[in-house]
Chain A
């Protein structure tokens, strides 16, 4: 199937059909979490702490419980006490004890918005009114929301038991610094000393939220025999099942989770908040319970990405070859440990060959909602700092920033961050494409600047199950357990159609509930098209094998004498040339005694291809108001193989959009009491459509060998470059290096004033 250029020719892969969920979403028919309705259902509501840090002396729920219409009241006392257990969920993880306490506070609240009690009542209005009847006696404690302040020696301590892990000399002092991670190679100080030029800077970024449009919600029905039904949108129905079972000590097989359509996740729906609470409300009331968050609940209580501080020093010789680097950073984890320290460290310098480096990261708890994954969790703000310093080095040496990166870019065979050699990666190809892109040489006007930055994310493989079954009329069903957050049903159907030789329209892909298909890890780590896709391809191949053997039986020839060509069985036995279409085989199967054709495949690929992206951004800065207008963006990425190019472009553009928000205006603002002051989309400013130019995309396909079509995960890498690219552009436009995110108008003006 190869043409002269060596690029495989596909019939379905690489085309742009309509997604199977498209019509429902456009017409408003799609059922998202809060739309799901169960007969007999009642409504839950959660009381949340107004304090950033407080001890709970007592909770009195008696008045709430007595309110007519109230069917159940739940507090932390209803949750089982758990043994410490670290769980890995596919895009980060954590301790089950912390997950449980994050769902419902026990002796302490750790942030404004922390759940302290829940009510279920016959109407939402009654449930909400009942919350006002609950009295919580708090002993308010000093709080700390600021990252730097949380690391200070006299900071208020969140958890008495935390001691910093990973110190050279262990300390027994209570601290908010939960761990220190060091990754080094050679002698960074010597590397920097060898340099002709060293650029350095101290950077910071505010915590930001994933900003998915659909607030978390679930409906739960606890049956008298202990079986539990859960309907919810998330990035992993199996994740909901596992974590709910562990928090409540329920056998996993007793929980069945049905995934609903998801209105965005971006990593934020890789953890749970509501389901265990709703299970307890349903158990106590004997009724199905729907529990849904408001927008302000989402901002106050669900995981933002960490705020960061980061010191970077990088050196280069007179030819612009990097000699050494030092990256020292900390991230605010929020209420419980885990701010993506490892991945941030791993990714920070991954794009460049640097002989001597030292990377040190710290994870710090603070009195804000526990952080959750957000596309490339941990890495983007650290990459912003590194790409800013790379930009400064190129400027100081008078080398074009693309040439500078090309001279130092990693390529196949170079050591990857884990030490093993990189497989086929396209960083150099992307940079070459950027260099010749017309955008790069377009003239700029006054007060305008252009920036470029690169970014890296390793991607994840992980466990997946897929089933492919043939129907009587020769159409095909593809079943996976991977929630579709970016068009993956289309991609799964396309890959199966390609393997089997059917038109896309003859293959339907669905996401099954957790009792209807084998285990899959959650949709995260940009793993689904890679790992679940691999399972789909393998299952489809088994179906093809079975169809070939059925044809052989029908023809009475040996299986080796049947080839599968363009979706048909072809008999190659001399003198017996014949063909059978899928429809014919399916029909004969259905009607004969041979039984149905269906296959399942399970995979756990350890070797995903990494995601690498480069973006060029033009901005104009109003020197009198500090307002930044993003004029133009070109996003380039090594995508391995674009199964459905539109959805790959969507990931790239979406990463740019979220990155522009992160760069310019998004950020948690806390008031003096440690309460989140901008818990809504009015003051938490994600970009609106009119803030953005059309974002051009350039997909570079350097196929990855361990996926049948060469797929590399594409969902996360595109949020790594934009903050650096925007900051480099703003710095070029103003002549002042911007080191702090968000670069809001007042920040830009004050940074310019400070530089003068």
Chain B
């Protein structure tokens, strides 16, 4: 009979030790993906390493003008940090689209990222925001862009024994903001058919920098540099938005599946990116 061991290490080093010792061990944060996958038989971990008891792996702190968010922080807890919500509303709204309130009381952005689903909601917003994460492992800690973590559907670039300790959002200049939108057939409890995160820095009504990231339109979440470039130097006029939409559609490499057709995903990604860009612009403007 199959059975699994449960560990609740108190330190990062202890967690790394447990993970290194057993390649079939799995990190568990909220468990909202992992438990479901275990019950369906998709994964069969022989041990769970619960990171929620590790000091510093839960909670939010100021870091270099931005924020460091512990990987085990549940999504609803993000809403309680007013400064974080003001600086990165797109990231916070993305994390709080996941599932339902009950799911979000457990679900984490770290789990969302490391589950490596191309449709993960918080990931396009994090990538658009230029977020990085701290990875701890047998060789110590390293800092990598969030976009470097997902490798393919369900697989990450993390080496054996490694796990994500925290996610860092950079300092947000004045006149800057972000937004995330997704398309789902229902209003909640659903998986994105397409998602778009946009982060903008505006200056005098002109876009100074822009990052556009797409979910559910390729094997991993995409950062579409050409889409961001189409906005830079513009006021986000129709021509610029059309050009961005063009770049978005060109970058999409979706599949047809039970959740949506490839052509629908491509079309909708561009619609969402356009709408998200306008929301981000208005948010940035409202701050000024």
Interface residues of A (CB under 8 A from B): 125-126, 129, 624-627, 664-665, 669, 677-678, 681-683, 685, 687-688, 690-691, 744-746, 749-750
Judge whether B188 and A664 touch: CB under 8 Å.
no
Give the CA-CA distance A360 to B185 in the complex, in Å: 34
Residues in A with CB closer than 8 Å to B42 are: none
Q: Is B260 an interface residue (CB 8 A)?
A: yes
Judge whether A746 and B187 touch: CB under 8 Å.
no
Judge whether A745 and B186 touch: CB under 8 Å.
no
Give the CA-CA distance A202 to B271 in the complex, in Å: 31
Q: Is chain B's binding surface mostly helix, strand, loop or mixed?
A: loop
Give the CA-CA distance A682 to B100 in the complex, in Å: 12
Residues in B with CB closer than 8 Å to A688 are: 186-189
Residues in A with CB closer than 8 Å to B183 are: 625, 627, 745
A-contacting 9-mer, from B52-60, B121-129, B137-145, B261-269: B261-269
Given A125-B1, A745-B264, A749-B264, check contact A627 B189 (CB 8 Å).
no
The distance from the CB of B77 to the nearest CB of chain A, in whole angstroms, is 22
What are 15 A-B pairs at a CB distance below 8 A? A126-B1, A129-B2, A624-B268, A626-B264, A627-B185, A682-B190, A683-B259, A688-B189, A690-B186, A690-B187, A745-B264, A746-B193, A746-B261, A749-B267, A750-B261
Judge whether A744 and B185 touch: CB under 8 Å.
yes
Judge whether B186 and A669 touch: CB under 8 Å.
no
Residues in B with CB closer than 8 Å to A664 are: 185
The distance from the CB of B44 to the nearest CB of chain A, in whole angstroms, is 12
Residues in A with CB closer than 8 Å to B189 are: 681-682, 688
Interface residues of B (CB under 8 A from A): 1-2, 183, 185-191, 193, 258-261, 263-264, 267-268, 271-272
Residues in A with CB closer than 8 Å to B258 are: 669, 677-678, 683
Give the CA-CA distance A626 to B272 in the complex, in Å: 12
Residues in B with CB closer than 8 Å to A627 are: 183, 185
Q: Which residue of A lies closest to B270 (CB)?
A: A624
Give the CA-CA distance A125 to B193 in the complex, in Å: 36
Judge whether B271 and A685 touch: CB under 8 Å.
no
Given contacts A681-B189, A690-B188, A750-B263, 5 further A-B pairs with CB under 8 A are A129-B2, A685-B186, A690-B186, A691-B187, A745-B260
Give the CA-CA distance A744 to B261 in the complex, in Å: 11
Give the CA-CA distance A627 to B260 in the complex, in Å: 13
Residues in B with CB closer than 8 Å to A626 are: 264
Judge whether A682 and B264 touch: CB under 8 Å.
no
Residues in B with CB closer than 8 Å to A746 are: 193, 260-261, 263-264
Residues in A with CB closer than 8 Å to B191 are: 682-683
Give the CA-CA distance A744 to B258 in the complex, in Å: 11
Residues in B with CB closer than 8 Å to A682 are: 189-191
Judge whether A624 and B190 touch: CB under 8 Å.
no
Closest 4 CB pairs between A and B? A746-B264, A690-B187, A669-B258, A624-B271
The distance from the CB of A695 to the nearest CB of chain B, in whole angstroms, is 16
Residues in A with CB closer than 8 Å to B190 are: 682, 685
The distance from the CB of A470 to the nearest CB of chain B, in whole angstroms, is 48
Judge whether B268 and A625 touch: CB under 8 Å.
yes
Give the CA-CA distance A691 to B267 in the complex, in Å: 23
Give the CA-CA distance A664 to B187 in the complex, in Å: 12
Residues in A with CB closer than 8 Å to B271 are: 624-625
The distance from the CB of A348 to the nearest CB of chain B, in whole angstroms, is 29
Give the CA-CA distance A744 to B264 in the complex, in Å: 11
Judge whether A691 and B268 touch: CB under 8 Å.
no
Given A129-B1, A678-B258, A682-B191, check contact A665 B186 (CB 8 Å).
yes
Residues in B with CB closer than 8 Å to A744 are: 185
The distance from the CB of B98 to the nearest CB of chain A, in whole angstroms, is 13
Q: Which residue of A lies closest to B267 (CB)?
A: A749
Q: Which residue of B lies closest to A628 (CB)?
A: B185
Residues in B with CB closer than 8 Å to A677 are: 258
Q: Which residue of A lies closest to B264 (CB)?
A: A746
Judge whether B185 and A685 touch: CB under 8 Å.
yes
Residues in B with CB closer than 8 Å to A687 are: 186
Q: Which residue of A lies closest to B262 (CB)?
A: A746
Residue among A677, A682, A750 facing the most chain B CB atoms (10 A cut-off): A682
The distance from the CB of B217 to the nearest CB of chain A, in whole angstroms, is 14
Residues in A with CB closer than 8 Å to B261 are: 746, 750
Residues in B with CB closer than 8 Å to A129 are: 1-2
Give the CA-CA distance A197 to B217 in the complex, in Å: 46
Q: Which residue of B lies closest to A669 (CB)?
A: B258
Give the CA-CA distance A130 to B190 in the complex, in Å: 34
Judge whether B267 and A665 touch: CB under 8 Å.
no
The distance from the CB of A122 to the nearest CB of chain B, in whole angstroms, is 12
Give the CA-CA distance A627 to B187 in the complex, in Å: 10
In-complex Cβ contact of A691 among B2, B186, B260, B272 (8 A):
B186
Residues in A with CB closer than 8 Å to B263 are: 746, 750
Give the CA-CA distance A129 to B190 in the complex, in Å: 32
Q: Which residue of A lies closest to B188 (CB)?
A: A690
Q: Which residue of B lies closest to A687 (CB)?
A: B186
Residues in B with CB closer than 8 Å to A691 are: 186-187
The distance from the CB of A258 to the nearest CB of chain B, in whole angstroms, is 30
Residues in B with CB closer than 8 Å to A126 are: 1
The distance from the CB of A653 to the nearest CB of chain B, in whole angstroms, is 18
Q: Which residue of A lies closest to B187 (CB)?
A: A690
Give the CA-CA distance A126 to B3 in the complex, in Å: 12
